Structure 1
């Protein structure tokens, strides 16, 4: 059930959204070891977000998962996310936050039940 959310002020074309979504999905598979079929990615481009009072490229990100949220994995995700955001969105690593959420199974619904 990993869910990767990226809110950004950078405007993106559909092809860029697809490319970013693929990169984030691959990142979750690589670091958290989660199956692709359960990974959801939400990218919201072109939002009114400022960072340090400027509208230069920035992002607010969340990674939500059942397990595998820990210091080691979070560090790996943060490092790789910095590369991805720079490559695709031209966002510097000091202009985004990522929040990590480790959900309890009973607090996540799917397919008419909970995990």
Structure 2
């Protein structure tokens, strides 16, 4: 059930977004040690975004996963920030990431919960 949501104001083409989604899916599965078949990536080009009063390239990410190891979030942050730089040319100081580990009963799947 790992889910990564990516929002950015970078006006990238479809090929760039597709490459980012593919890379992010593999990376999230590897980072969390979970099958990629359970990983969901949501990528949105959201042109109306500002950070620090500037509309320069930026990205906001949310990574949710059951049992997310809090002690590894600095490592995850570095990896995900690197993906934003590699695929969207967003500098590290223009990336925010929210990490969340919902309780199993608060995440639905297949008409039930985990």
TM range (shorter): over 0.9
CA-atom RMSD in angstroms:
1.1
TM-score relative to the length of structure 1: 0.93
Q: What is the rounded CA distance, in whole Å, between the counterparts of 2:46 and 2:107 in structure 1?
A: 29
Unaligned runs of 5+ in 2: none
Structure 1 residue 22 displacement after superposition: 1.2
Structure 1 partner of 2:24: 24
Which residue matches 2:2? 2
Q: Distance in 1 between matches of 2:66 and 2:16?
A: 28
For this pair of structures, how many residues does the alignment match? 114
Structure 1 residue runs of 4+, over 2 Å off?
none
User: What is the CA distance between 1:80 and its match in structure 2?
Assistant: 1.1
* Structure 2 contact 68–100 (Cα < 8 Å) conserved: no
Counterpart position of 1:63: 63
TM-score (norm 2): 0.94
Provide structure 1 residue ranges, at least 5 long, that are not aligned to the other structure. none
